[in-house]
């Protein structure tokens, strides 16, 4: 790795500058503004350092954080985000497990095509994929029309603008994130292990539960986090599919910023959300980095 390196130090310096200016800097500014107060001016927040003639004085306060913790609405929004993201993750796992298993067990010549088929919808605009569900879920929508037509229900179900719609939207939008790591995990299990289990008298069901599934645990963990982390901060799905009473923290941040123009409060929400997600994120990044560097 060392010796005559083609990447010279100036590249490291340039990269460092980019990271400092566009990644580290912005996150520090969010932290700074979360300690400011909102005001009607440009920019709409108070400065942290105030020049009061005789010198600089620091004007930081935790009022935004106190407001967030004290106001039951935001506490509920945090709680509901975790809850809805958790349910969506569990459902996505339930849908993805049999699909990924079937893909990994499919004849080798099919697997590439199946993988492409699963990934193609993922490349379709996220917004359009969420938007598509409005026409399906609304009262006079296609799902209700189909259910009524089949005689399963008599009156249309209220689906759009409920938490159910939000969960469906999240599961749908993030499903490929779950399928991919599961597929990789299943595909890596040597066939000889399954054969050994069978030779030792395990039924296919038994060998699935006591051999295959434990070996895919890291894939399950990775897929779950890849769905859970963005789902917790999701803003678009609850806005388009959720109702007025659907509280999610990403949507709260969005509303505080764009509608109430309370930038300091939006920043404080972002900081709390970051703190909440830093553990799972670090785990995922560490795993990714190890995987990349070993080239596995």
Partner 1 sequence: MRRSLSWVSVAALALGLAFLYAPILLVIGYSFNAGKLVTVWSGFSLRWYAEAFANEQLMASIGVSLRVAVLSATLATVVGTTAALVLFRHARFVGRGALVGLIYAPLVLPEVITGLALLLLFVELGWERGILTVALSHAVLASAWVAVLVQSRLVAFDRSLEEAAIDLGATPARALWQVTLPIIAPTLVAGWLLAFTLSIDDLVIASFASGPGSTTLPMRIYGQARLGVTPEINAVSTLMIAVVALGVVAFGLLAKREALRGVQAGGSK
- Interface residues for partner 1 in 5-24 (CB under 8 A)? 5-8, 11-12, 14-16, 18-19, 21-24
Please identify, using beta-carbon distances, which residue of 106 and 217 lies nearer to partner 1: 106
Q: Does the protein bind partner 1 through residue 74 (CB under 8 A)?
A: no
Q: Torsions phi, psi of 184, nearest 5?
A: -60, -45
Phi-psi region of 201 (alpha: psi -120 to 50; beta: other; left: phi over 0): left
Q: Does the protein bind partner 1 through residue 111 (CB under 8 A)?
A: no
Min CB(54)–partner 1 separation in Å: 25
Number of residues that bind partner 1 (CB under 8 A): 93
Q: What SS3 state is found at 260? A: coil
Q: Is cis: bond before 43, omega within 30 of 0?
A: yes
Please identify, using beta-carbon distances, which residue of 76 and 208 lies nearer to partner 1: 208
Cα-Cα end-to-end distance for the chain: 18
Please identify, using beta-carbon distances, which residue of 15 and 217 lies nearer to partner 1: 15
x/- track of binding to partner 1 for residues 147-176 (CB under 8 A)? -------------------------x--x-
Q: Does the protein bind partner 1 through residue 281 (CB under 8 A)?
A: yes
Please identify, using beta-carbon distances, which residue of 53 and 205 lies nearer to partner 1: 205
Q: Are 255 and 54 in contact (CB under 8 A)?
A: no
Q: What SS3 state is found at 50? A: strand
Phi-psi region of 261 (alpha: psi -120 to 50; beta: other; left: phi over 0): left
Min CB(5)–partner 1 separation in Å: 5
Which residues ranging from 189 to 248 are in contact with partner 1 (CB under 8 A)?
Answer: 191, 194-195, 229-230, 232-236, 239-240
Q: Does the protein bind partner 1 through residue 134 (CB under 8 A)?
A: yes
Q: At what angle do helices 142-149 and 126-137 cross, to 10 degrees?
A: 40
């Amino acid at each position: 790795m060392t010796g005559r390196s083609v990447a010279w130090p100036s590249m490291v310096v340039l990269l460092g500058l980019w990271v400092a200016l566009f990644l580290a800097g912005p996150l520090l500014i969010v932290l700074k503004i979360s300690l400011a107060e909102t005001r009607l001016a440009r920019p709409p927040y108070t400065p942290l350092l105030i020049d009061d003639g005789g010198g600089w004085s620091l004007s930081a306060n935790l009022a935004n954080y106190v407001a967030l913790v004290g106001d039951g609405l935001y506490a509920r929004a945090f709680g509901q985000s975790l809850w809805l993201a958790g349910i969506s993750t569990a459902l996505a796992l339930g849908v993805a497990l049999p699909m990924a298993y079937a893909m990994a067990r499919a004849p080798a010549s099919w697997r590439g095509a199946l993988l492409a088929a699963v990934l193609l919808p993922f490349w379709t605009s996220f917004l359009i994929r969420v938007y598509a569900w409005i026409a399906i879920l609304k009262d006079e929508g296609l799902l209700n029309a189909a259910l009524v037509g089949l005689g399963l229900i008599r009156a249309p179900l209220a689906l759009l603008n409920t938490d159910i719609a939000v969960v469906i939207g999240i599961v749908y939008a993030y499903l490929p994130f779950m399928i991919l790591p599961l597929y990789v995990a299943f595909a890596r299990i040597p066939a000889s292990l399954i054969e050994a289990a069978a030779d030792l008298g395990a039924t296919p069901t038994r060998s699935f539960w006591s051999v295959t599934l434990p070996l895919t645990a890291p894939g399950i963990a990775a897929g779950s986090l890849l769905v859970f982390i963005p789902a917790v901060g999701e803003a678009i799905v609850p806005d388009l599919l959720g109702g007025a009473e659907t509280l999610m923290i990403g949507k709260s941040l969005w509303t505080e910023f764009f509608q109430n123009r309370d930038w300091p409060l939006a920043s404080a929400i972002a900081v709390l959300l970051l703190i909440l997600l830093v553990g799972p994120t670090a785990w995922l990044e560490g795993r990714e980095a190890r995987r990349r560097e070993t080239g596995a």
